[in-house]
Amino acid sequence: MINLAAFNKQIMNTFFCILVSTIFLQGCGGQRDEPFSPATIGSSSSHGAVVATEELKSSDDLPVTSVDEHGTLAKISDVDTFTTVWRNYTFSAQPTVDWVAGQVVLIDLGKKKACDRKLTFNKVSAFEESTNSVVVVVDYTDKDKQSSSTSSTSSRTSSSSSNSSSVCNDETLTQPYYFYYVKTRDQIIFDENVL
C-alpha cells in the first residue's frame, strides 16, 4: 500500500526545490545590457589597440538606494542615465565625463556577506575589436583559487589549527561597485575573465 502522506510530501519537496532553483537561476546573467562574446573569453592578447580607461569611483559600501542585489555589468552612454545611476550608488560628487569621446561602464558585484564573496574585482582594460566595437575586459580573482595556490604542502598543520584559520565570521553585507570611463563611442562588448 502506498503511503499518500509521504508521497505528497516528496512531491511538495521536489516542487519547492524546482521553484527555488528557478528563482535563483533568474539572476544568472539576466542583467546583461551588452552582448556576451564567448569567442573572445580569455583572448585579450589577440585584441587590437588599447583603449584608454579611467576609474571614476570604486567602493565596497552598499549603494545608497535599492539596486539589483545580484549585481550587474552595464554600459552608460549618456549624462542623464549616468546621473540617475550615479545617484543610486553614491552621494559623492558626480565626475565630469566627456560624452562626445566616451562612455561609462558600471561593474557591480552584487550584495553578499563578506565571507560568501568568492570573486573579487581585479582590473578593467579595453581594446579595439573592430572598426566599430571595443572589448572591455573585466578581470576577477577567484578567492578559492588564489588561496589554494598560495598554500604550500609544507605549511600543513593539525586539522584543528587549519580549520580555525579558514573560518570566516564576517557577516558584513557588501556590494562592491566600480565606475570606469572608457574613451570610445563604439559598441562595447564585455569579456569577463576569472583569474
pLDDT per position as a tens digit, 105-154:
999 999 998 888 889 999 999 999 999 999 999 999 998 776 665 554 43
Q: What is the mean pLDDT of the chain?
A: 79
**Could you tell me how far CA 187 lies from the centroid of its own chain?**
20
- Pick from 95, 92, 104, 93: nearest CA to 61: 92
Long-range (24+ apart) CB contacts under 8 A made by 154-159 are none
pLDDT digits (tens, 9 = 90+) for 26-62: 444 445 554 444 443 444 456 799 999 999 999 988 8
Of residues 47 and 169, more confidence is placed in 169
- Pick from 184, 34, 188: nearest CA to 102: 184
Residue with C-alpha cell 535599492?
66
pLDDT for the residue 10: 65
pLDDT for the residue 18: 61
Question: Averaged over 69-97, what is the pLDDT?
Answer: 96
pLDDT for the residue 192: 95
pTM across the whole model: 0.68
- Listed ranges 40-44, 66-70, 163-167, 191-195; the one with the highest mean pLDDT: 191-195
- Pick from 99, 84, 109, 97: nearest CA to 54: 97
pLDDT for the residue 161: 41
